[in-house]
Amino acid sequence: MTHAIVLIQAERSSLAVLGGELADVDGVAEAYSVTGDWDFAAILRLRTQDQLAQVVTAKISQLPGVVKTQTMVAFEVYSRHDLEALFSVGQ
């Protein structure tokens, strides 16, 4: 499984609708509107790393209003849910 975070800069006119469009892209597990230099952060969960280029370049980057993206591939995934499950074994 490949996990990635894609930061997205958008045109102002697309801010109201782009979040929903991002969430509808296959491979996007979650999409957030964020503050700072970027407008959205999309969390990708993909079966293979080969799918990453397809989702980012052919789908996300081609959505109307997307100006720029930056992709960060995760080496390891940590979550409170995973840690709680690990430490609750046998209790």
Percent of the chain residues topping a pLDDT of 70:
87
Residues 6+ apart with CB under 8 A from 9: 37, 38, 39, 66, 67, 68, 69
Would the pLDDT of 78 be above 90? no
In the predicted model, what is the mean pLDDT of residues 72-82?
79
In the predicted model, what is the mean pLDDT of residues 9-26?
97
Token representation of residue 91:
């209790």
Mean pLDDT of the chain: 90
Spans of all domains in the chain: 2-87
| pLDDT for position 89 | 57
Backbone phi and psi for residue 60, each to the nearest 5 degrees, phi listed first: -65, -50
Would the pLDDT of 36 be above 70? yes
Sign of CA dihedral 32, 34, 38, 43: negative
Residues 6+ apart with CB under 8 A from 15: 33, 39, 65
User: Which listed CATH number (2.40.40.20, 3.30.450.20, 3.30.1490.190, 3.30.70.920) goes with 2-87?
Assistant: 3.30.70.920
